[in-house]
């Protein structure tokens, strides 16, 4: 069995990976990295970069001295600790570390340098492969791991729609300019809830607080029970993929309406309701309103799809093949 260092964490994925790898007999160390200024905007964020690099030095030293068989780093720019370690390393891209960072001259240079040096570059959603041009041979699709039995051990499909959840970060990249006009319309007939979370949260609470109920994010260990309070979930509308939040909604057995690009899932299309504008979102909810058979189908097939594509056994198989294959 191998000794593995998992560096940094995004959305709890590294924590789940540690659990999966330990269950297979591997020894895993989870190592956190400094986040000084990580949520700031440029140019203020640039001031913190030297401080963050200094804070990385103990981790680099630990990796250089430690007898690790695998060094696996989440998010691309922290891959600089892999460069400093002087050992083969794996990186995992999660989204913005590609499609946003590649727009910035310095970050683009650093990202491509890290990708050049990495042994394998994992990416978590199929759309990210288009940002890895030139690195296709070392790129591996690694869908985010979700355990259906943990997310919702028992799931009863909803039979009608009365409560609707907007389950996404309030961020332009998620298509919230499309989602919330639909949410306001739906609020005339349904109870609509959204998360008070994201860079546009304050603005959207001001604009839609009279029609949409905004609630805080919930801890990860109660997401399943939280989701099951609702009959239908509305996910992101702009990226064409299922992010971790959409996958969690399916795992909890909730019918999902989202802006899916079926062409990104040619081998096993996810059982979701596709919508790409406000009118389509409203029409999709209205169509499901009393269609208990369709809601049951989406609920049951969604959970099965998550098991096939995001289950722990599938995730472990991809990791071990990349690490040791």
Least confident of 63-67, 97-101, 142-146, 255-259: 97-101
Sequence spans of domains, the chain: 3-142, 148-310
Element holding 132 (H helix, E strand): none
Query: What are the pLDDT digits (tens) for 163-191?
Result: 999 999 999 999 999 999 999 999 999 99
Whether 40 has a pLDDT exceeding 90, the answer reads no
The percent of residues above 70 in pLDDT, for the chain, comes to 95
79-110 b/e with 16+ CB inside 10 Å = b?
A: bbbbbbbebebbbbbbbebbeebbeeeebeeb
Q: How many CB atoms lie within 10 A of CB 170?
A: 23
Query: What are the pLDDT digits (tens) for 308-317?
Result: 999 999 999 9
Q: Is this model's pTM higher than 0.75 or not?
A: yes
Q: Alpha-carbon distance 265 to 288, whole Å? A: 24
Stretch 187-196: mean pLDDT, rounded? Answer: 98
The percent of residues above 90 in pLDDT, for the chain, comes to 87
Q: Alpha-carbon distance 318 to 323, whole Å? A: 9
Element holding 194 (H helix, E strand): strand 191-195
Structural fold of domain 3-142? Rossmann fold (3.40.50)
Hey, which CATH number is domain 148-310, 3.30.420.40, 1.10.3300.10, 3.40.50.2000, 3.30.70.3270? 3.40.50.2000
Q: Alpha-carbon distance 221 to 246, whole Å? A: 16
What band does 35 get if pLDDT is binned at 50, 70 and 90? confident
Instruction: Confirm whether 3-142 and 148-310 share one CATH topology.
Output: yes
**Dihedral over Cα of 86, 122, 136, 125: its sign:** negative
What band does 54 get if pLDDT is binned at 50, 70 and 90? confident
Phi, psi angle pair for 141, to nearest 5°: -75, 120
Q: Residue 154: its pLDDT value, please? A: 83
């Amino acid at each position: 069995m191998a000794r593995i260092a998992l560096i940094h964490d995004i959305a709890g994925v590294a924590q789940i990976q540690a659990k999966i790898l330990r269950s297979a007999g591997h020894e895993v160390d989870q190592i956190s990295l400094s986040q000084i200024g990580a949520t700031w905007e440029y140019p203020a964020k640039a001031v913190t970069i030297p401080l963050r690099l200094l804070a990385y030095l103990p981790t680099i030293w630990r990796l250089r001295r430690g007898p690790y068989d695998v060094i696996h780093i989440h998010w691309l720019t922290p891959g600089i600790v892999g460069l400093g370690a002087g050992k083969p390393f794996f990186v995992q891209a999660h989204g913005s570390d590609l499609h946003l960072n590649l727009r910035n001259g310095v970050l683009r240079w650093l990202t491509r340098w890290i990708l050049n040096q990495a042994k394998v570059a994992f990416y978590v959603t199929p759309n990210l492969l288009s940002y890895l041009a030139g690195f296709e041979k070392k790129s591996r699709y690694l869908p985010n791991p979700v355990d259906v039995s943990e997310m919702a051990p028992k799931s009863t499909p909803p039979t009608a729609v009365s409560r609707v959840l907007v389950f996404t970060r309030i961020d332009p990249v998620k298509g919230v300019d499309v989602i919330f006009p639909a949410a306001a319309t739906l609020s005339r007939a349904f109870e609509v809830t959204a998360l008070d979370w994201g860079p546009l949260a304050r603005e959207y609470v001001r604009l839609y607080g009279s029609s949409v109920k905004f609630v805080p994010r919930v801890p990860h260990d109660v997401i399943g029970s939280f989701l099951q309070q609702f009959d239908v979930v509305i996910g992101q509308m702009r990226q064409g993929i299922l992010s971790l939040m959409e996958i969690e909604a399916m795992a909890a057995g909730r019918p999902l309406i989202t802006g899916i690009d079926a062409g990104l899932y040619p081998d096993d299309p996810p059982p979701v309701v596709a919508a790409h504008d406000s009118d389509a979102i409203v029409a999709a909810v209205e169509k499901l309103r009393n269609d208990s058979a369709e809601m049951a189908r989406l609920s049951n097939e969604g959970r099965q799809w998550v098991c096939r594509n995001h289950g722990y056994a599938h995730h472990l198989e991809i990791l071990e093949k990349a690490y040791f294959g």
